[in-house]
Structure 1
Amino acid sequence: MLIYAAADLHGRPERLAAIETHVATQRPDLLVLAGDLSRRMRPDEVAGSLSRLSLPTFFIRGNSDSRRLEASLGRPPRLQNLHATRKIVNEVGFVGVGGTLPLPFHSRLGLAESALVARLSDLLQPGDVLVAHPPPYGVRDRVLGRFHAGSRAVKRLVERRAPALVICGHIHEQAGIETLGKTVVVNCAMGRSCNGVLIRYDGESVPECAILP
């Protein structure tokens, strides 16, 4: 299965246009959006743009997304909110959690860490794909190259349940691919050097990832 992962669109028309171009040329099976989708455009405008792709899409909220995003993006049948649920595509499990840490950045949606880990531990299976807005603490999460701003809850969840893949964003300057134990962590925040990440994963082998410039 070919997954196109992106995060931190922030309602920028040029980023939505880049997604449309890569969907047309790469022909992925699934689009996964790891939060911070609206800002410069209204949630309903973002929903309209994504629905025109005619591609199955999973999304979660980021720290700058309002609750209206879930309502707007949840209307088109191809756009599905992954928060606190597990969905299967081509025998691969996907589990999502929306939000981010309340510090060091202002957040509309903060993770209640103990409740989060307890709830998602029952959903997430080894070999699944975890979609979270913040990276696991210590992995692709350095702000200004100086301090870590990832989620300790996400890190604990990854260490406990060993998903094959984490798709995240939030820290724009840390877009890239790294590992945490045997888990591949993909920070797919869109920006100057990244227009998302293509991921080939069959549910068994190690995910193959390529950054789209």
Structure 2
Amino acid sequence: MKILAISDLHGSTHKALNNYLDNNKVDLIVIAGDITHFGPAELAEDILNDISSYNIPVVVIPGNCDPHEINSQLDNSKAINIHGKSTTIKNVGICGFGGSNLTPFNTPMEFGEVEIYEELGKIMVQMKDQDIKILVTHAPPLNTNADKLPDGSHVGSESIRKIIEEHKPDINICGHIHEAQCIDKIGETVVLNPGQIMTGGACLIQIDDENNHIDSKIIKL
């Protein structure tokens, strides 16, 4: 299975994504939040339906810059909304939690660490029987290269890191911090921040169908 991971669209799909999908085969697209830039919520459905027109499964979560009412638009779109839910594609279990931990900017979709931990704990167990487990979060886990600001400070979620340490998913796809594009690890969990799509940021994940070996790399759309 070949998975294209993107994040932080902020209201536009960017033509580089369309060009990539026109010329490359992928089996799944994962979008790690911030589909809009503070709305309107209806725009998210249009964007997701445009990406879904390639007849490739799309799974999505909202970001902290998306309005709360966006969830109904995600549910109505052709994409699969995994905010607080899980789904299975082939032998891969995927669950997600959107929004972010608290920020200084009072953005629309922020959650306290206790709520993040409790909600993620409920959905992680839904994937326990899958061969490959992917956790999709908008916020990155704390104290990784994925949550590092240019000044070196770390602003990720303590609860997401704790969930990764406890449940050990194979992959965590995140976003939120545009400058923190990276591939990192927490234990054996691969942490991927594809960066902002407006600058061509993306990650490509290849899962071998025979032995479940995972290979991942940063790409430029």
CA displacement, residues 156-184 of structure 1 (integer Å, 9 cap, x when unaligned): 00001000000000010011101111100
Q: Which residue of 1 aligns with 2:136?
A: 131
What amino acid does structure 2 have at the position aligned with 1:103?
Answer: T
How far did 1:120 drift? 2.3
Stretches of 4+ aligned residues off by more than 4 angstroms: 191-194
Q: What secondary structure does 2:109 align onto?
A: coil
1:44 and 1:115 map into 2 onto residues whose CA distance is 26
How far did 1:188 drift? 1.2
Q: Which residue of 2 aligns with 1:27?
A: 25
Q: What secondary structure does 2:201 align onto?
A: coil
Of 147-156 and 184-193, more deviation after overlay is shown by: 184-193
CA displacement, residues 99-135 of structure 1 (integer Å, 9 cap, x when unaligned): 1012234321122322332332233246410000011
User: Aligned pair count?
Assistant: 210
Match status 1:181 vs 2:157:
no
How far did 1:201 drift? 2.0
Q: Which residue of 1 aligns with 2:72?
A: 71
TM-score (norm 1): 0.89
1:144 to 135, 147, 150: 150
Of 95-104 and 63-72, more deviation after overlay is shown by: 63-72
Q: What secondary structure does 1:3 align onto?
A: strand
Unaligned stretches of 5+ residues in structure 1: none
Give me the CA root mean square deviation.
2.2
* Structure 1 residues 104 and 143: alpha-carbon distance in aligned structure 2, compared to 1, 3 A threshold: farther
Q: What secondary structure does 1:177 align onto?
A: strand
Structure 2 matches for 1:77-96, cutoff 5 A?
Answer: 78-96=78-96
Structure 2 matches for 1:40-55, cutoff 5 A?
Answer: 42-55=43-56
TM-score (norm 2): 0.86
1:51 and 1:67 map into 2 onto residues whose CA distance is 22
- Is the 8 Å Cα contact of residues 175 and 194 (structure 1) preserved in structure 2? no
What amino acid does structure 2 have at the position aligned with 1:96?
Answer: G
* Structure 1 residues 205 and 55: alpha-carbon distance in aligned structure 2, compared to 1, 3 A threshold: closer
Unaligned stretches of 5+ residues in structure 2: none
CA displacement, residues 15-52 of structure 1 (integer Å, 9 cap, x when unaligned): 2x222222222211111000011128733432342232
